[in-house]
Amino acid sequence: MKIGLVDDRVIDLDKLQVIVSGVEGADIVFSTTSAEEAYEQIKKETVDLLICDIEMPHLSGYELADIIHSHALSIAVIFVTANSGYAVHAFELNVHDYIMKPYSKERLQQSVQRLMEKSKSAEMTGRLYLKQKNNIHIVQKKDIVFIERSGRSTTIYTRNEQIKTYLTLNELEGELRERDFIRSHRSFIINIHYVKNFSLYAKNSYVITFEGIGEQAMITKEKVDFLQEHYF
């Protein structure tokens, strides 16, 4: 599990590093005293878990978690703080845990291990189950290149096949919470890992070409700007 650490107090950050590094399978991707720097790292690095203080100068840990939540980024958050006043609001952001300082090594390590176990279970559900009359078609999410809504049906494009379903994009969007997928246009959901090129189509839209298939999708200028800021 790839983990980022943020605390504006160096002594507390050092404690986080020592404790988290003792968890088997934990890989500390970055460790910083600045929430702004953590935000830049999140845009560049794959991070599964962010462990952060809440009250920090400039950008707070709560604001950083709010960015993660509002952009539906697939990053879990553990708050480690001396202030209990944010607990209710924190859980509105669906944080994994809220740990009060001072805390024991065991308390934090158990929280990280619990998230690892939860993540392993989630990997088993990394697929879509599509009911088609009397059949259930199983699609690995990682194989989806993009999804298009046309009329009353939806087509799921993988590198090897096209699958028709009557599920709406809103329904599929609820199943595809992973960071890889974004709603690029009212008629399309795309997997950013397969994107090869954006070509200007009109003033406020682009055509997307993908690796491995000839079919194309659409994306709005607003979403292109979002991708450039948060992914590329």
Ramachandran assignment for 155, one of left (phi > 0), alpha (psi -120 to 50 degrees), beta (any other): beta
Tell me the pLDDT tens digit for each residue of 50-88: 999 999 999 999 999 988 877 767 789 999 999 888 887
Q: Tens of pLDDT along 180-198? A: 889 999 999 999 889 989 9
Q: How high is the mean pLDDT of the chain?
A: 89
pLDDT > 90: percent of the chain: 59
> How far is residue 146's CA from residue 157's CA, in Å, rounded to a whole number?
5
Read off the pLDDT of residues 197-217 as tens digits, 9 standing for 90 and up: 999 999 899 999 998 899 999
How large is the average pLDDT for residues 31-57? Answer: 93
Residue 231: predicted pLDDT? 66
- The band of 122, judged by pLDDT with boundaries at 50, 70 and 90, is low
Strands 49-52 and 195-202: unpaired
| pLDDT, tens digit, 9 for 90 and up, residues 78-96 | 999 998 888 877 777 878 8
Q: Is 219 exposed, middle or buried (0-12, 13-18, 19+ CB in 10 A)?
A: buried
**Which strands make up the sheet holding 2-6, listed edge to edge?**
27-32, 2-6, 49-52, 76-81, 97-100
What tokens were used for 211?
A: 């690796």
Distance CA 107, CA 57 (A): 26
Band of residue 125 on the pLDDT scale cut at 50, 70, 90: low
**Which one, of 198, 128, 202, lies nearest residue 167 by Cα?**
128
Transcribe 79-119 into DSSP letters. Answer: EEES-GGGHHHHHHTT-SEEEESS--HHHHHHHHHHHHHHH
pLDDT at site 138: 87
pLDDT band, residue 127 (cuts 50/70/90)? confident
